[in-house]
Structure 1
Amino acid sequence: MVELSRNDARTDKVTAGQVDEGLKLCARYGLHPALLFMEQVGVPRPVALRVLCSPEHYRQRDRRRVPRS
């Protein structure tokens, strides 16, 4: 199993964008609408629950504009 750290670059930009939108919905409308949105757009339920229920695990924006090669 590959171990990922909090600083690893996001590899799935689509899912990352959907999670970010879900977090915005959570801040505005609450947990349940955000979870429903994430499930509808295909974010895996364990991922959605982890980011919605554990703010300390939210990824911060990637600091690099261009990933290392």
Structure 2
Amino acid sequence: MAEQSRNDARSDLVTAGQVDEGLKLCARYGVHPALLFMEQVGVPRRVALRVLCSPEHFRQRDRRRQPRPVR
């Protein structure tokens, strides 16, 4: 599997919003209800599990439309 780069622009704002809602649910009710919500709204299970179970792999409010310039 190709590793996601933090320089990739987040292009799917709908999924990004659903993931944000899932993270709010996770903080309030726990991982299982958040996972069920994300699956129900169409977030791929692999993405939902990565975000909920591996916080070091999810993006931190970084919704650039363009990648960061290479230095």
CA pair 26-11 structure 1, distance change in 2 beyond 3 A: same
Structure 1 match to 2:48: 48
Q: Deviations over 1:25-63 (max 9, x none)?
A: 001100000000001000000000010000111201126
| In structure 1, C-alpha distance between the alignment counterparts of 2:54 and 2:20, rounded to whole Å | 14
Alignment check: 8 A CA contact 2:10 2:63 kept: no
The structure, 1 or 2, with the larger RCO (C-alpha pairs under 8 Å, 6+ apart) is 2
| In structure 1, C-alpha distance between the alignment counterparts of 2:3 and 2:63, rounded to whole Å | 20
Structure 1 match to 2:33: 33
Q: Report the number of matched residues.
A: 66
What secondary structure is seen at the aligned counterpart in 1 of 2:5? Answer: coil
- Report the TM-score when normalising by structure 2: 0.80
Q: Which amino acid aligns with 1:55?
A: P
Structure 1 match to 2:18: 18
- Report the TM-score when normalising by structure 1: 0.82
